[in-house]
Amino acid sequence: MERTPQVVSLLLKNLPDGWIYQNEGGDTWTAFDIVGHYIHGEKTDWIPRMNIILCESDKRFVPFDRFAQFRESEGKTISQLLDEFAALRKENINKLKAVKLDEETLNKKGIHPQFGEVSLKELLSSWVVHDLTHINQITRVMARQYDEAVGPWKAYMGILNR
């Protein structure tokens, strides 16, 4: 998880706009939107929810806004977003390292607005998978920009046929 901002930066930094601002059609997300979504997660999801589980008496999570990035990323460049994500993630990893994650702590619970009771262990595992999910999505959004350019190879590219 410490490396995720680097991976995302390597995939996206200093590329022509076409790679950054194209989506997969309809109201799907662009790479730019996805980085904004990572940032909003750092600010309001994973570590804030850990703190609710560990420190607060009201264990109910604040609902996560899946569309906040459309507002919050406005006027920023992809390069600014990538730097912001890297800085926030670094802070959050430090906060995570400051907690002693033994079995008892990992089994503590919070209340998810849809799922009800969830453990810290599930929250932190989901953070890892969430990182991977959106790297996965970024590579798919990028690949689709070459949907036609690959010609007959499209048949071999699972990423273009989902």
Does residue 130 touch a copy of itself according to CB under 8 A? yes
Rounded distance between C-alpha atoms, residue 158 and residue 156, angstroms: 6
Query: 10 Å Cβ neighbour count for 119?
Result: 15
Does residue 99 touch a copy of itself according to CB under 8 A? no
Total chain residues near a copy of itself (CB under 8 A): 40
Q: For residue 110, list its beta bridge partners.
A: 118
Does residue 158 touch a copy of itself according to CB under 8 A? yes
Does residue 59 touch a copy of itself according to CB under 8 A? no
- Looking at beta carbons only, is 47 or 74 nearer to a copy of itself? 47
- Looking at beta carbons only, is 67 or 74 nearer to a copy of itself? 67
Nearest distance in Å: CB 106, a copy of itself = 10
Supply the DSSP string of 135-147, one letter for each residue: HHHHHHHHHHTTT
- Half-sphere exposure of 3 toward its Cβ, with a 13 Å CA cutoff? 5
- Give the range of 30-38, 47-55, 84-92, 148-156 binding a copy of itself by CB under 8 A: 148-156
Rounded distance between C-alpha atoms, residue 162 and residue 156, angstroms: 12
- Looking at beta carbons only, is 99 or 106 nearer to a copy of itself? 106
Are 64 and 45 contacting, i.e. CB atoms less than 8 angstroms apart? yes
Scan residues 9-38 and list those touching a copy of itself (CB under 8 A): 10-11
Are 29 and 37 contacting, i.e. CB atoms less than 8 angstroms apart? yes
Structure tokens at 104: 């008892």
Which residues contribute to the site for a copy of itself (CB under 8 A)? 3, 6-7, 10-11, 112, 114-116, 118-119, 121-122, 125-126, 128-130, 132-133, 135-137, 139-140, 142-143, 146, 149-153, 155-160, 162
